A and B are shown apart, each in its own frame.
Chain A
């Protein structure tokens, strides 16, 4: 484990959750995210990685356990309250409004706090020129990589402290995925802490400070990302290497 002394920015403890009362997808999960960190959550299909993010974002209520942001409990609150507190969630699929323009999508990204929205949109266009070029196009006309960038940019409209990314590279060509990981790292360097769930385990560990491995709704391993990426057991089981 890395040396963790400060109170984490975001922490989840003993989370139990599922889509129905009887089915527990998360059986007991811990997660902590320090300010300024990228944490990657990897693991096989069905391990509950996406469910974990949905619980943190408030889309799914946990049946047990807690989520704290800066020491304040946020579990059980509604998605828009959690979003207003500075935790922005980017779903894996259907994460844009397809018939609305790129610009309108960004406006909707900042819906809870429309003040200064114009300046924020201009800043995003300056940062992501491909989005600026397509500002008047419907989001459904974007390529897969551009759509993921738009989805992240929408989340940035609320100037979040924490960004939760659910498999951002899913379905992208390798070049687009690489560009996306660069973008994630750049956003982090601006001071946004990021928890990212990924199938693409090696790349996810390469950009992360720390990693968590989840198996069957529980934590399996955790530690500095570089260590996990080198560990022969981890490589064999999760990375196919």
Chain B
């Protein structure tokens, strides 16, 4: 029983961190209507941006996360403007395939600059906290807080700013948003900055727990995609619910499965949702 509880706590914490890139993925989908699988390499780029700020720049982890956001966000705007945007008129499938290609290219740029080695952030050594029978690492806990702050900031931005509302309007009804005078190109650039920025934060938070290498983002993209699909593609609250579901399911799978099969959880979840409820838990429509 205590093991189950420990797995549940781990799952909820992992799910909260997973929610950050999943929100990025679903936000980009909501506005631009294609699954941007290049999110994986942007998570990696964010992780490395934060790494440089942390190790060479001497910033503490929580401050380096802001650098991860900015670097991944800027690369996201650039890569979309140069590569994906010109292809969008050709349709969602074409753009999604191009995003996979873009992902491979960017991943290799990271490999070219930083090499294949695993690298660790410069973090103070801390002993795990123990509450009753549950162990929690202080770094894990800090990651949880950073993830919550990032999500809260995004919710405030979307709920209370003119630009955030314009973004939701385009996601809700692009034709009407155009009639009402919203500049769809500007919103497109913005959602790439925010969405890929969140991917960068997610990549760094995952790296803080372990280490980073050029495949950091690639390893989690399936879980990110599964979280977005399970919650309902295009729904931000859905991405949070989906990420918590996947996070907990992946941890609980360890009771019955070898850790190597953990990634299968994402596949199974996608399969289940697409069969039983294609619009996901909180999705507005089926795709």
Can you list, as one digit per residue, whether each of B161-175 has a CB less than 8 Å from chain A (1) or not (0)?
010011011001101
Residues of B within 8 A of A89 (CB): 179
Q: Does A187 contact B (CB under 8 A)?
A: no
Residues of A within 8 A of B169 (CB): 97, 100, 108, 111
The size of the chain B interface, using a CB distance under 8 A, is 17
Q: Does A62 contact B (CB under 8 A)?
A: no
Q: Does A114 contact B (CB under 8 A)?
A: yes
Residues 43-96 of A contacting B (Cβ, < 8 Å) = 57, 59, 79-80, 83-84, 89, 91, 94-96
Q: How far is the CA of A84 from the CA of B162 in the complex (A)?
A: 18
B173/A97 in contact, CB under 8 A: yes
B175/A94 in contact, CB under 8 A: yes
Residues of A within 8 A of B183 (CB): 80
Residue of A nearest to B235 (CB): A99
Q: Does B176 contact A (CB under 8 A)?
A: yes
CB distance from A226 to the nearest CB of B (A): 33
Q: Does B2 contact A (CB under 8 A)?
A: no
B180/A109 in contact, CB under 8 A: yes
B168/A91 in contact, CB under 8 A: no
Pick from A83, A98, A111, A114 the residue with the most CB of B within 10 Å: A111
Residues of A within 8 A of B3 (CB): none
Residues of B within 8 A of A84 (CB): 181
Residues of B within 8 A of A98 (CB): 172-173, 284
B165/A104 in contact, CB under 8 A: yes
Q: Does B177 contact A (CB under 8 A)?
A: yes
Residue of B nearest to A107 (CB): B165
Residues of B within 8 A of A79 (CB): 178-179, 181
Q: How far is the CA of A98 from the CA of B176 in the complex (A)?
A: 11
Residue of A nearest to B284 (CB): A99
Residues of A within 8 A of B176 (CB): 91, 94-97
Residues of B within 8 A of A109 (CB): 180
Q: How far is the CA of A20 from the CA of B148 in the complex (A)?
A: 49
Q: Does A186 contact B (CB under 8 A)?
A: no
Which one, B162, B168, B182, contacts A114 given CB within 8 A?
B162
Can you list, as one digit per residue, whether each of A142-155 has a CB less than 8 Å from chain B (1) or not (0)?
00000000000010
Q: How far is the CA of A83 from the CA of B177 in the complex (A)?
A: 12
Q: How far is the CA of A98 from the CA of B166 in the complex (A)?
A: 14
B181/A97 in contact, CB under 8 A: no
Residues of B within 8 A of A57 (CB): 179
B179/A108 in contact, CB under 8 A: no
B182/A111 in contact, CB under 8 A: yes
Q: Does A112 contact B (CB under 8 A)?
A: yes
Residues of A within 8 A of B168 (CB): 97, 99-100, 104
26 pairs, A vs B, C-beta closer than 8 Å: A57-B179, A80-B178, A80-B179, A80-B183, A91-B175, A91-B176, A91-B179, A94-B175, A94-B176, A96-B173, A97-B169, A98-B284, A99-B172, A99-B284, A100-B165, A100-B169, A107-B165, A108-B165, A108-B166, A108-B177, A108-B180, A111-B166, A111-B169, A111-B181, A114-B162, A154-B180
Given contacts A59-B175, A96-B176, 15 further A-B contacts (CB under 8 A): A59-B178, A79-B179, A91-B176, A95-B176, A97-B169, A97-B177, A98-B284, A99-B284, A104-B165, A104-B168, A107-B162, A108-B180, A109-B180, A111-B169, A111-B180
